[in-house]
Amino acid sequence: MTANSPSEKRLEELREQAWKEGVVAGKGVDVAGGPIPRKPGYYGQPVVKQPVWTWEVPLYFFFGGMAGMSAVIASGAVIFHHLNLARTAMWVASIAGAILSPILLIMDLGRPHLFLNMLRVFKHRSAMSMGAWILSAFGACAVPGLIALELHANQIFPGTLDQLLRVAAGIFICGAAIFGTLLATYTGVLIGATAIPAWFLHRTLLPIHFGTAGLGSAGALLELFGHRITALNFLGFYAAAVETVLLIWLSIDKHGDADRAIHEHGSGWLIRIGEVLTGPIPLVLRFFGAIPLAAISFLLGALVSRFGWIAVGKISARDPESVFASQK
Amino acid sequence: MIGEGTHSTNQRRHTYVPDHVEVGFFTDPTVCIGCKACEVACKEWNQVPDDGFIWSGNSYDNTGHLGASTWRHVMFLEQDRAKGNQIAGPMSQDEDPFRWVFLSDVCKHCEEAGCLEACPTGSIVRTEVGSVLVQNDVCNGCGYCVVSCPFGVIDRRPQPLPDAGGAFKCTFCYDRQKSGLVPACAKVCPTESIVFGRLDDLRARATERVQQLQQSGYNDAQLYDPTETSVRGIHAFFLILGEPEAYGLPPKPQIPTIYLKSAWTSAFATAIASIIATLLAFAFFS
């Protein structure tokens, strides 16, 4: 048997085919994982672990952002004497921020009954710890703020007590507004300061996106509740314009293999659909005065892009090459 | 007799915990025989549940990767390179070079640990011996450590395994160490591929071993201990042949807290911009 005999050539062909394609078109012969590994890294195993978070977390990002920025709108409304708008905004802030958000966060825990351990320590170097404290502080301002505002608006108590309530409502609502801006933006820090390439490479963009999406969704929801005032329309324009800029930024700011999960996968499309629904579409719709449609589009987009960012993190974490590329 | 050598520290009782001495693991693949005794010992001593029996097809490795229920993992690398100046086969010089490398992977117990910084409950702590420990009864399973580990070590244990929902990783056998015992994996390692001991001693031994191997023709032998990155070194370090990527080890691991400054700056800027935009909106359009 010489080195050039037909049978040897056939083996060479198989070797070539196996080398190039990873699979030999024979009777179920599969050389993947064969003698010499051809997958990146160690048999293609992920280098970093993918997030264990499920649907509760992106939904929390959505409601938390909306609640936080709703309190900001409420503070503006209180200062400029839009009492009814302030009341609706504080209801949104309290229900989304003090009821839905904690429920979603607790549901996502591996051991929900130990949720109070979140308040065992205060760690400024942990975005998760800061988030737990921000959410608690927000709830502690938003709910009393709403109660005081409603008591004042319905003139439950007479005279001096009512004046006291008015002042208390103002203070609590301003507190809720300050913690609200942090509640809406810290989620970007939360996923931006991790070991996952598609997230940490966009850590500057993420808080801007989450915060602005929160502001836009709060305004959009209040418009859908019937508060069709120019100030909210202006905020709608502002949020949509910022999101349009972020859409362009994200498509320019590419990091090759390191963040390819954003640019090459279905999850990347989720982010882009979300950005288009929050950016250009509501911008155009508002320009033509179709405010309810613009509001619905923005709310949908803000929700979709939150799911998109979590999905991108999972894909990016599973991809060893993107981790290696991010450390080049 | 195993463990009776002059350098051996694997079978001796010690007082590192009361004496607050930093300890570590030095894992050397050139003497590993791939027996997986470390995996078995770890599971048995720590009563770690089995997480499925999956036939991977990746050499002799059916463990896959470190995780909530896998705290030691023996890797089996098959590479088309010669191991030192070994002769690959008896046939001829044309023989394709080939080497089989075994390396027992474990939690790195970073000098600056991403999981420890990220933990919002204070469940993850630094022990007297410098290791990173998860206090299982405190952990509420938020999952933030999972995405904060640059080595992909720690994970949340899924249902329906015992103690599901919490985050788990190597404990450096803290319970054993408190009693003066050596970690289970090092105790059982028949070739002392896993060496347990004082961190300073181990670092010196590792450097010496790398030099020794390079002199013997292992040109690609190097120490994997990322002291130059923000992780600032690891307490369980490895001698590796070739590039770290082939072992699924990140070449330049970073602790995610270095990203906090730029992310928070962006968050505060957005917060202020949102307040200004809202006030302007009401001021001009009321």
pLDDT over 80 (residue A312): yes
Do residue B22 and residue B97 come from a single domain?
yes
pLDDT in tens, A178-216: 999 999 999 999 999 999 999 999 999 999 999 999 999
Nearest CB among B79, B165, B270 relative to A208 is that of B270
pLDDT in tens, A80-92: 999 999 999 999 9
Q: Which run of H or E residues covers position B240?
A: strand B236-241
Q: For A148, how many CA atoms within 13 A lie in the half-sphere containing its CB?
A: 21
Q: Tell me which of B107, B140, B145 to substitute to probe the interface with A (most A C-beta atoms closer than 10 Å).
A: B140
Inter-chain CB proximity B155 and A41 less than 8 Å: no
pLDDT band, residue B89 (cuts 50/70/90): low
Do residue B229 and residue B268 come from a single domain?
no
Looking only at the bridges linking them, the beta strands covering B167-168 and B155-156 are antiparallel
Nearest CA in chain A to B99: A36
* Chains A, B: CB pairs < 8 Å: 265
Token reading at A118: 């979140």
Token reading at A205: 């963009």
Do residue B30 and residue B80 come from a single domain?
yes
Do residue B117 and residue B247 come from a single domain?
yes
Inter-chain CB proximity B260 and A206 less than 8 Å: no
Q: Which residue has the higher pLDDT, B242 or A35?
A: B242
Nearest CA in chain A to B96: A36
pLDDT over 60 (residue A27): no
Domain assignment of residue B8, yes or no: no
pLDDT band, residue A19 (cuts 50/70/90): confident
Query: Using an 8 Å Cβ cutoff, are B245 and A45 in contact?
Result: no
Do residue B96 and residue B197 come from a single domain?
yes
For the ranges A17-31, A229-243, A298-312, which has the lowest average pLDDT?
A17-31
In chain A, % of residues over pLDDT 90: 84
Q: What is residue B3's predicted lDDT score, i.e. its pLDDT?
A: 46
For residue B184, give how far its alpha carbon lies from the nearest alpha carbon of chain A (Å).
25
Looking only at the bridges linking them, the beta strands covering B236-241 and B23-27 are parallel
Q: What is residue B172's predicted lDDT score, i.e. its pLDDT?
A: 98
Q: For A299, how many CA atoms within 13 A lie in the half-sphere containing its CB?
A: 16
Torsion of CA B156, B158, B161, B162, to 10 degrees: 40
* Domain ranges, ordered by start, for chain A: 50-193, 198-328
Q: Tell me which of B112, B115, B258, B264 to substitute to probe the interface with A (most A C-beta atoms closer than 10 Å).
A: B264
Q: What is residue A32's predicted lDDT score, i.e. its pLDDT?
A: 47
Q: Which run of H or E residues covers position A136?
A: helix A127-153
Query: Using an 8 Å Cβ cutoff, are A192 and A206 in contact?
Result: yes
Mean of pLDDT over chain A:
93
pLDDT band, residue A6 (cuts 50/70/90): confident
Domain assignment of residue B213, yes or no: yes
pLDDT over 90 (residue A326): yes
Chain A partners of B102 at a C-beta cutoff of 8 Å? none
Do residue B73 and residue B168 come from a single domain?
yes
Chain A partners of B121 at a C-beta cutoff of 8 Å? 114, 117-118, 120-121
For residue B274, give how far its alpha carbon lies from the nearest alpha carbon of chain A (Å).
7
Torsion of CA B215, B216, B218, B222, to 10 degrees: -40
Q: Which run of H or E residues covers position B125?
A: strand B124-126
pLDDT band, residue A36 (cuts 50/70/90): low
Q: Which run of H or E residues covers position B27?
A: strand B23-27
pLDDT over 60 (residue B102): yes
Inter-chain CB proximity A200 and B256 less than 8 Å: yes
pLDDT in tens, A93-130: 999 999 999 999 999 999 999 999 999 999 999 999 99
Do residue B150 and residue B172 come from a single domain?
yes
pLDDT over 60 (residue A31): no
Inter-chain CB proximity B121 and A229 less than 8 Å: no
Token reading at A89: 């905004």
pLDDT over 60 (residue B224): yes
Q: How many CB atoms lie within 10 A of CB A266?
A: 11
pLDDT band, residue A1 (cuts 50/70/90): low
Q: What is residue B1's predicted lDDT score, i.e. its pLDDT?
A: 38
Inter-chain CB proximity B274 and A40 less than 8 Å: no
pLDDT over 80 (residue B195): yes
A122 in contact with B at a CB cutoff of 8 Å?
no
Domain assignment of residue B151, yes or no: yes
Do residue B101 and residue B154 come from a single domain?
yes
pLDDT in tens, B104-135: 999 999 999 999 999 999 999 999 999 999 99
pLDDT band, residue B84 (cuts 50/70/90): confident
The DSSP secondary structure of A229-262, one letter per residue, reads -HHHHHHHHHHHHHHHHHHHHHHH---GGGGHHH
Residue B261 lies in domain: 255-286
pLDDT over 60 (residue B2): no
Inter-chain CB proximity A53 and B143 less than 8 Å: yes
Looking at CATH, the fold of the domain delimited by A50-193 is given as Formate dehydrogenase/DMSO reductase fold (1.20.1630)
The mean per-residue pLDDT over the stretch A61-75 comes to 98
Mean of pLDDT over chain B:
92
Give all strands (DSSP E) within A62-117, no chain letters. Answer: none
Backbone angles phi, psi at A261, to 5 degrees: -60, -30
Rg value, chain A, Cα:
26
pLDDT in tens, B153-174: 999 999 999 999 999 999 999 9
pLDDT in tens, A138-177: 999 999 999 999 999 999 898 899 999 999 999 999 999 9
A224 in contact with B at a CB cutoff of 8 Å?
no
Shortest CA distance to A232 belongs to which of B281, B273, B280? Answer: B281
Q: Which run of H or E residues covers position B156?
A: strand B155-156
Do residue B131 and residue B266 come from a single domain?
no
Q: What is the pTM of this model?
A: 0.91
pLDDT over 70 (residue B86): no
Q: What is residue A301's predicted lDDT score, i.e. its pLDDT?
A: 98
Chain A partners of B268 at a C-beta cutoff of 8 Å? 185
Domain assignment of residue B6, yes or no: no
Do residue B215 and residue B161 come from a single domain?
yes
Chain B partners of A232 at a C-beta cutoff of 8 Å? 281
Q: What is residue B58's predicted lDDT score, i.e. its pLDDT?
A: 87
The DSSP secondary structure of B51-109, one letter per residue, reads -------BTTB-S-S-BTTBSEEEEEEEESS--TT----SS-TTSPP-EEEEEEEE---
Identify any residues that bridge with B167 across adjacent strands, giving them in sequence order: B156
pLDDT in tens, B3-18: 455 567 788 899 999 9
Q: Which residue has the higher pLDDT, A302 or B85?
A: A302
Instruction: Note whether ipTM > 0.90 here.
Output: yes
Domain assignment of residue B11, yes or no: no
Domain assignment of residue B172, yes or no: yes
- What CATH number does the domain containing B233 carry? 3.30.70.20
Do residue B241 and residue B272 come from a single domain?
no
List Cα–Cα distances, B145 to A90, A287, B155, B193, B280, in angstroms. Answer: 34, 45, 8, 29, 40
Looking at the 3D structure of chain B, how many domains does it have? 2
Token reading at A176: 């809720």
pLDDT over 80 (residue A248): yes
Inter-chain CB proximity A211 and B157 less than 8 Å: no
Domain assignment of residue B9, yes or no: no
Q: What is residue B213's predicted lDDT score, i.e. its pLDDT?
A: 93
List Cα–Cα distances, B198 to A33, A58, B20, B110, in angstroms. Answer: 38, 45, 11, 15
B90/A219 Cα distance (integer angstroms): 77
Q: Which residue has the higher pLDDT, A322 or A19?
A: A322
Q: What is residue A29's predicted lDDT score, i.e. its pLDDT?
A: 41
Chain A partners of B274 at a C-beta cutoff of 8 Å? 69, 72, 181, 184, 211-212, 214-215
Nearest-5° Cα angle at A192, A265 to A270:
25
Shortest CA distance to A134 belongs to which of A169, A176, A71? Answer: A176
Do residue B271 and residue B210 come from a single domain?
no
Chain B partners of A76 at a C-beta cutoff of 8 Å? 278-279, 281-282
> What angle do helix axes A83-94 and A159-192 make, rounded to 10 degrees?
50
pLDDT over 60 (residue B57): yes
Token reading at B180: 């003066």
